[in-house]
Every structure is written in structure tokens, then in C-alpha cells.
Amino acid sequence: MCGERLEHAVGEARSPSYGKRPSAATKIRGGFWEKGVTYMEPEDGRAKESDGPLTGLLIADFSRILAGPYATMLLGDLGATVIKVEGPSGDDTRTWKPPVRGDVATYYLGINRNKRSIVLNLADADDKRLALRLAQRADVMIENFKPGQISRFGLGYETLCEENPGLVYASISGFGTKPPGSGMMGYDLMIQAMSGLMSLTGEPEGPAYRAGISVIDIISGLHLAMGILAALYERATSGLGQHVEVSLLTSALSGLVNHTAAVTMGGVVPFRMGNAHPSLYPYDPFATQDGELIVIAANDGQFRSLTMAIGAPELADDPRFSRNELRTANRDILGPLLQERLRTKTSDEWFALLTAAGVPCAPIATVDRGIAFAKEVGLEPTVLLGEGGDRLEMIRNPITFSATPPSYRLRPPALGADGDAIRAWLLDESELD
């Protein structure tokens, strides 16, 4: 047990150690913190000129691949200082090529901005001491080692919480920390298979398919970031950190939402239906003159609007199709009737007509077209980071804030790019508590 939590009600005085932002002098004197940030205490209590809502937090990121680095990038966008700790060979995704920008894997670039990199060989005694010192100073530590492995280096939660009681220690595993799951490695494709997700993906009579992205890693990273933020909020009251754990498998089962609910509460085992939805119709792609268009009628009003837009208003009053459950049960009859009409125009023509009629629909776009469309509707999905020929166009943090927006301060670092500055800061005895 790493200390007792203070019994503060919400609104009462909080721990002086963790309830305040650090001073500008404390922030800058380490030599590698982002400079030019001044903390002031305006009447509304909000620090001015900060990089974001998490400015002043230090995150020691011992994770690699996708789930952890994605979470820490999002937190870094919100102002946290993220130190990416890599082994001598670097994060695996540095070698996941193609595609590349120059000679750098775009996979790595896409999830590692707003971080500083140091190489630490945890098998080396001196580097292990630096890693421990970093963990002692951090607000948050994230790791995705095989369960129990990082404890061999003196960096397990039970050790660090004694050294740094305010530390929020976040772990990602494939199958949890208890045997037998703790002995298994966890990769996204494994979890897609073992969670049941692949059994839902593909045509009914065809093979199971993986999703087109590492969706379980992304969901797990989001769950981890949410857990970290909740633990930090609780720390502001208790003064103590805690251990936050996320497993890829439980994240997957949570992300399967209606399908896992069908099993646990409905006694139904879902199955592959291609692009069809088990509980809604239409909710499918339909062939047009020149391609395919997703058409959705999620309620009776939308279905009536659809039938009017395609020139078949009688379908909305047909007793076989008047309610969603009837349309779903009679999809084999309704589908050809809709398809007959939708073949008469191009996807773009139907997109304009149906959108104007209030019917959800979408052409099936390539990724580049998806980015372009986001720009067309005013979402500003990308941000330019860097200067001149080294400038990167990256996808923005998807969260907007009215007062403390995300910031894009640092390009994804080269391996060990900030090692000298970080080592000097860690070795500075004046920085020790």
C-alpha cells in the first residue's frame, strides 16, 4: 500500500503538492522543458499563455508500438511534457516501412509528435538509475512491458509509488496481469481474433477479416488516456497517484458494445453480415451509376425522407416497412426496391440530393479523399509542423477547447535526439526533492 488517501470532499482544500501548476522558474531551469511559457494566476484561476490544459505535467513514456504512444501523443498535444524512453534499437515502429517520409516510417511519425527522446538501456546500471530518477520526478509513467518484466529493473508500481507517491502509473497489457493471461504477448491482430471482432468482419460466407486499422490499439490508447486523466483529477484531492491498468482484450470487448451486449444480455451470438447492420435497415452500401453509396435510415422519419427523395413515397406506408424492426426483418424484399431507384444516378448526385433531404449518406472514399472532405466541410483536420522542406502535415488532435487548445510544438524526435539535455537534467542534484 503506497500511502493513505486524504479524505477531502470535492471543493475542499487540495494537496499543495499536486493542486498547483509549477512556477515558470521550475519549469524552465531543467534545460529541456518548452520555454516561453509563463504561469500567471488571473481572477478566473486559469493559467495564461500555457500550451494547453495539461501544461506542467511530466509524462515518462516507457511504452512503444501504438496504444501507449498514441495516448501520450494526445496528452502531449494538450500541453504535457512527454519524455519518450527508448531502448538502444528504438521504438519498433521506427522500422515499420513502407511508407516513409525521407527514410522515417510514417507509422512512427504519425503517433510521436510533441515528445522528446532519450535512449536508456535498462540493463545498464547507470541508465537504470536515470530511468528511476525520471520516474521519481514524473507525474505520469506509462509502460507496456510484458506484465512483471519492468519490475525486474526496479520500475514496477509497488516500488515507484513509495518513491513518488503522487505518480499515476499506467500499464497496458494484452490479456491482463493475472495468470495465465499475464504470460501472453498481445498484438492488435491477436486481440481482433480472440475478442470475436474478426468473426464479425467480412461476408457471411467468406473468411473472417481484420479491420483495416489497428482499432484495438487505438481504443486501448483512448481508454488509457481517459484513465490517466481521471487518476490525475483524483490526485488533486488525495495527493496520491494510483495504478491505472488497461488490457487490449477488455478494451476490445468494451468496444464491441452492442455485440457483446447481445451475448451477455440477449443470449445471441453475433455473426458476419458483410456491411449489413443486425438491428437497422437500410444501413448499407448501395450500387449507384458509378460506384457505391452508404445509405442510412436510422428511424422512421429518415426512412420516409429517403423514400420521398428517391421517388418512392409509397414504401414508407407499406406495412412491411413502416417500422425499423419490420424493415430489418424484410430487408431481402426492401433492398432490391431501394436498389432499383439508387442505380439511376451517380453517387455524387445522390449524395447531394439525399443530404439536402436530411438522409444520412456517404460515398465510399479513399483516405486522401476523406482528409480532403474534412477540409471542405471546415474541420481543418491537419496541422503543419516544422519548417521548410522538413515540414510535416499531420492529423490534428481531434479535441477542440474554447480556452486552452491543443498545441503542436515538437516534430516526432529522432532516436535519442534529446538525450544529452535530459541526462543533464536528471543528473542535476539541485533538481532533487
Q: Which residues are catalytic?
A: 277
Residue 417: Cβ within 10 Å count: 18
Return d(Cα 217, Cα 207) in angstroms, integer. Answer: 23
105 DSSP β-pair partners: 100
Q: Taking Cα atoms as reference points, which of 298, 294, 278 lies closest to residue 286?
A: 294
327 DSSP β-pair partners: none
Q: Taking Cα atoms as reference points, which of 290, 305, 292, 287 lies closest to residue 355?
A: 305
Measured on CA atoms in the order 429, 430, 431, 433, is the torsion positive or negative? positive
Which three cell numbers, joined as nine digits, stand for 307? 423514400
Is 402 buried (19+), middle (13-18) or exposed (0-12) by CB count in 10 A? Answer: exposed
Amino acid at 314: E
Q: Provide the 8-state DSSP code for 150.
A: G
Which three cell numbers, joined as nine digits, stand for 109? 511519425
284-302 burial code (b ≥16 CB/10 A, e <16): bbbebeeebbbbbbeeeeb
Compute CA 232 distance to the chain's CA centroid, rounded to the nearest angstrom.
18
Return d(Cα 120, Cα 135) in angstroms, integer. Answer: 13
Is 404 buried (19+), middle (13-18) or exposed (0-12) by CB count in 10 A? Answer: middle
Question: Angle at Cα 103 formed by Cα 190 and Cα 78, nearest 5°?
Answer: 65
DSSP-derived 3-state class of residue 85: strand
Which residues lie closer than 8 Å to 294 by C-beta, 6 or more apart?
284, 285, 286, 361, 362, 363, 364
